[in-house]
Homo-oligomer: A and B are copies of this chain.
């Protein structure tokens, strides 16, 4: 019974995601969906990546948050359009909320839309937004076992940013175990070791994105 309800919700979500994909294609826009636990550093990474991306592209951001607009405020300094979606307690963005966010953006003037999803390793994975790719962000402080515990995200992501890499000396983080689990789930995974605080690894990630989008 509940499974049937979920299937209906997901089917409806996919229909709208496909519509979003058509809209993006029509405007020549690439959309990228960042997914992580709360506090893994998505916004901090965007604060470093956006100035690099701005050298090449016109950027818009859609921020998902359960209640606040704190992350959106952190991105206002870049003078780019930022649309805040408050999910009113829901644990993920859906394609319908993205469709309405598109209406708040001047799509003719954009090359890239960055979506920062609600902090959560489970719910956002089930909801296609119409994005071209998903990026998983994992903080080293969360432990090396997270890919094995949340395989769906790591199966579907185009790349993993292993963030807060500067904290590894102070943690019991088993990187070999992390890599073994990741490559078992997805042998083709691209991994970047990043530190938003130390601004390391983010240039390499942005260059990788640019190369994909050029191709």
A172 lies within 8 A of chain B by Cβ: yes
Query: Count of A residues near B, CB < 8 Å?
Result: 40
A92 to chain B, nearest CB (A): 9
Among residues 144 to 162 in chain A, which have CB atoms less than 8 Å away from a CB atom of chain B? Answer: 145-146, 148-152
A2, B94: Cα distance in complex, Å = 13
Q: Does A118 sit at the interface, judged by CB under 8 A? A: yes
A121 within 8 A of B: yes
Contacts of A123 in B (CB 8 A): 91, 122-123
Q: With A91-B120, A119-B121 as known contacts, state yes or no: A68 contacts B149, CB within 8 Å.
A: yes
**A123 to B123 CA separation, bound complex (whole angstroms):** 9
Query: Whole-angstrom distance between the alpha carbons of A172 and B142 in the complex?
Result: 17
Which of A38, A119, A170 has the most chain B CB within a 10 Å cutoff? A38
Chain A residues within CB distance 8 Å of chain B: 2, 5, 9, 37-40, 65-68, 70, 89-91, 118-123, 126, 139, 141-143, 145-146, 148-152, 164, 166-167, 170-172, 197
Additional A-B contacts beyond A166-B170, A167-B167 (19; CB < 8 A) = A2-B9, A37-B38, A37-B119, A38-B121, A39-B141, A39-B143, A39-B146, A65-B149, A66-B122, A67-B149, A68-B148, A70-B149, A89-B152, A91-B122, A120-B120, A139-B141, A141-B141, A167-B170, A170-B170
